[in-house]
Amino acid sequence: MGHSLRKSTFQARAVGAVVFALVSGLAPGCGYRSNFFTASESAVPFEVSPVPDGVVWARESVHAIAWDGAPFPPEETGSFAVSRDGGATYAEVAFVQARAGRYLYTVPADGEPRLRLRLTVGKVSRETRDVALVASQRRAYRATRLLAEAPFGPRDGAGALVHRDRMWLIGGWNPERFPRSTANDVWSSADGVAWREEKPNTFLTADFDATADWEGRHLAGYEVMDDAMWILGGDPLQGRYQRDVWRSSDGKRWTRVTDAAGFGARALHMSAHFGGRLWVMGGQRIEQFVVPRPGEDFSAALFGDVWSSRDGAAWQRVEPVGPSWEPRSFVGNTAVHAGRLWVVGGGSYEDPPAGRNAREFRADAWSTADGAAWTKAREAPPFAPRQSHNVVAFDGRLWVIAGYEPSGNLGDFWYTADGENWYDQKVPGFVERHAACVWAHRGALFVGSGNAIDGKVFRSDVFRIEPAP
């Protein structure tokens, strides 16, 4: 779902991805001093988030340094400095607004094998520990816009799968194109340029037969298992929760596996194919879209549970072993990377009738080898907290792409090889968006569709990102 489930108009919004005020964009170690920075006489106590023991920083990676900025007045400015000799000497690298509470530091590409950072605000200074540096994990990529307007047309929340050496786009939302807000059409492509319609949209009128074909939907669970494409659950836009599961080998003919999956009534859930099983995790029940009727327990809820199935019909709840991620919804994808299933970011949808008056946004990263025991990445990722983003494994790296934050759509790309050292990747011409489609296919990453608003135009573009030669 996009920034509103009840989206009736399209509106571009300013992106507020900058989470710190960087007054000086200087290279680490330059030793420059600003002629307009004046240290205050304040002595507000604060602590800098520690770099966890055992964490090493890869060169050129980006790391978030955080502190409690709330006690500082808006005009208070701080100074960041770096030491490469164990704290004997420091060189200023940037000035920040103390109230921001966060600074993104890019590790230098060369120099000494260790460093530490120091933040000074007024008369108070705080340092990180010495951090060992290892070789850069950055890769060079090139990005190409393949299509400005794909034939499947603008939509968000469509399913995106790779099956039988083709990319597939399934359903999606666009009330200006689809009579019932969402569609059940299916498209496929081998190269991201030539797309063919495999199944037309038949979700057109109120007398639609939901036993013969799947209802239109968006932001459902979409997976590939046993040489078939699967649709797991759906959304609440028809005034009820779609709890059905469907499968197809060719995208044209679909078979309903169950009309009441064991994971229950929910929307905005995550799904995965991992360890030979289908998975459904998290999600939300939203009272403003589905009002419970007598005898129904569809009250508002934000889920942190995990379910799995071998056949899509019988579902078992997986009990957590130890700490796990907090309840959440609105994660566009999960991904399997380095033999582990990853949950990154997410949040919740506002639901005023249930007392949830604001959305939540997250930027944490968790992974598991079995779906029960989860491990949180020791460092918080540097990107802005977000929801309705895409998470995908490609080129031996875990990618986080675009999404939605409180100030609007995002258009950034981030990747990591180890879950702790993150790199940003520029994609020229990419319009900020949420609820996009991503495909890892034939050695390239394809990104398209989504709530991409360029001016007042809802785009259906397609980009290809691939390793540079």
User: Is the per-residue pLDDT at 8 higher than 80?
Assistant: no
Other C-beta atoms closer than 10 Å to the C-beta of 175 total 15
- The per-residue pLDDT for range 403-436, each reduced to its tens digit, is 999 999 999 999 999 999 999 999 999 999 999 9
pLDDT value for 24: 30
Structure confidence at residue 363 as a pLDDT band (50, 70, 90)? very high
401, 404, 406, 411 alpha-carbon torsion, rounded to 10°: 50
Structure confidence at residue 20 as a pLDDT band (50, 70, 90)? very low
Structure confidence at residue 43 as a pLDDT band (50, 70, 90)? confident
Average pLDDT value over all residues in the chain: 92
Domains in the chain: boundaries: 1-136, 141-467
Query: Do the domains 141-467 and 1-136 match in fold?
Result: no
Give the residue with greater pLDDT, 299 vs 37: 299
Residue showing tokens 């689809």 = 178
Percentage of the chain surpassing pLDDT 70? 91
Mean pLDDT (whole number) for 195-213: 98
Other C-beta atoms closer than 10 Å to the C-beta of 7 total 17
Give dist(CA 357, CA 339) in Å, integer: 38
| Fold assignment, 141-467 | Neuraminidase (2.120.10)
pLDDT value for 452: 95
Nearest one of 387, 412, 383 to 63, comparing CA atoms:
383
Q: DSSP labels for 130-166?
A: PEEEE------EEEEEEESB-TT-S-BS-EEEEETTE
User: Is the per-residue pLDDT at 21 higher than 50?
Assistant: no
Other C-beta atoms closer than 10 Å to the C-beta of 43 total 9
pLDDT value for 23: 30
Give dist(CA 156, CA 1) in Å, integer: 7
How much helix, strand and coil, in percent to the nearest 5, is found in the chain? 0, 45, 55
Q: Give the three-state DSSP class for 316.
A: strand
Structure confidence at residue 36 as a pLDDT band (50, 70, 90)? very low
Percentage of the chain surpassing pLDDT 90? 88
User: Is the per-residue pLDDT at 17 higher than 80?
Assistant: no
- The per-residue pLDDT for range 122-180, each reduced to its tens digit, is 999 999 999 999 999 999 999 999 999 999 999 999 999 999 999 999 999 999 999 99
Give dist(CA 456, CA 292) in Å, integer: 37
Structure confidence at residue 359 as a pLDDT band (50, 70, 90)? very high
pLDDT value for 40: 62
Give yes or no for a contact between 374 and 386, defined as CB atoms under 8 angstroms apart: no
- The per-residue pLDDT for range 266-315, each reduced to its tens digit, is 999 999 999 999 999 999 999 999 977 777 778 899 999 999 999 999 99
- The per-residue pLDDT for range 96-126, each reduced to its tens digit, is 999 999 999 999 999 999 999 999 999 999 9
Mean pLDDT (whole number) for 193-203: 99
Give the residue with greater pLDDT, 346 vs 28: 346
Kind of pairing between the strands at 124-127 and 457-458: unpaired
pLDDT value for 291: 78
Q: Which CATH superfamily is domain 1-136 in?
A: Immunoglobulins (2.60.40.10)
pLDDT value for 298: 82
CA distances from 366 to 75, 220, 282, 336, 357 (A): 36, 21, 13, 12, 27
- The per-residue pLDDT for range 233-248, each reduced to its tens digit, is 999 999 999 999 999 9
Give dist(CA 403, CA 410) in Å, integer: 5
Half-sphere exposure of 443 (CA within 13 A, CB side): 4
Residue 34: alpha-carbon gap to chain centroid: 37
- The per-residue pLDDT for range 316-330, each reduced to its tens digit, is 999 999 999 999 999
Mean pLDDT (whole number) for 323-342: 97
Give dist(CA 204, CA 211) in Å, integer: 15
- Which helix (H) or strand (E) segment is 416 a member of? strand 408-416
pTM as predicted: 0.92
Give dist(CA 153, CA 460) in Å, integer: 5
Nearest one of 324, 429, 435, 436 to 372, comparing CA atoms:
324
pLDDT value for 293: 73
What angle is formed at CA 337 by the lines to CA 313 and CA 285, rounded to 5 degrees?
45
